[in-house]
Structure 1
Amino acid sequence: MSETIDAAVKSLNEKLEGNEFNGTAKFVIEGEGAVMVDNAGARAGDDEADVTLTADAETFHAIMTNDLDPTAAFMTGKLSVDGDMGMAMQLGSALS
């Protein structure tokens, strides 16, 4: 597992602590791997999900550090979403 994926799992778990997310999401970090998010938290993995969000490592890092709003990343094409858009919005709210 890459350091980027390890850091992503840690960051997502910190952001999701105390927030409820009912579904499954997958963050694909281009060139690094994937992180699964569900009601149990975040973990490295590449399973089926309700929604898949794909971005490069720089964009993902900017979202995790609140330097880039997930909606803005999507609107500018830096973040692609495949699957349940409502689930993506729920996850974006949980991460804010």
Structure 2
Amino acid sequence: MTPSTVQEVFDGMPGAFRAHKAEGVQMVFQFHITGDESGDWSVSIADGQCAVNPGTHPDPTTTLTLSDKNWLKLVAGKLNPAMALMTGKLKIGGDMMAAQRLGSLFKLG
């Protein structure tokens, strides 16, 4: 099932987490989603565990900003992350290499 709302994506992230790919990983993804379903969520990875929380984290490793529609397309595999970044549909702040690990840490879409 492909999530149809931004909240469904974040609710499903703990179940989509690939703990075996996160050994020794300590990072926080901060998502700033704009549009009709706007909001902020932090996704913390530590000790092979994943925690998703609404709101902002005081010290994220990387921050991803994109619209609700583009986030849903990205998760569904209908928007290439590199293309989204190059065309300004996705903005990344902080550690760019950490942002690139998102796809390997979660099985989304």
TM-score, length of structure 1 as denominator length:
0.79
Aligned length: 94
CA contact (8 A) 1:11 1:64 kept: no
1:26 and 2:30 matched: yes
Letter in 1 for 2:31: F
Give structure 1 regions of 4+ aligned residues with deviation exceeding 3 angstroms.
none
Q: Residue in 2 aligned with 1:88? A: 99
Partner of 1:46: 56
**Matches of 2:106 and 2:80 in 1, distance apart?**
10
- Larger CA Rg, structure 1 vs 2: 2
Q: Report the Cα distance in structure 2 between the residues aligned to 1:75 and 1:87, rounded to whole angstroms.
A: 17
- Name the SS for the 1:88 alignment partner: helix
SS of 2:101 mapped into structure 1: helix
Give the gaps of 5 or more residues in structure 1: none
**Matched residue type, 1:6:** Q
Gaps of 5+ in 2: none
Q: Secondary structure at the match of 1:24?
A: strand
Gap change, CA 1:75 and 1:95, over 3 Å in 2 = farther
Greater helix proportion: 1
Change (3 A) 1:58 1:12: same
Task: Note if 1:75 corresponds to 2:86.
Answer: yes
Over the aligned positions, Cα root-mean-square deviation in angstroms equals 2.2
Report if the CA contact (8 A) 1:8-1:35 is conserved.
Answer: no
TM-score, normalization by structure 2: 0.71
The structure that is strand-richer by fraction is 2
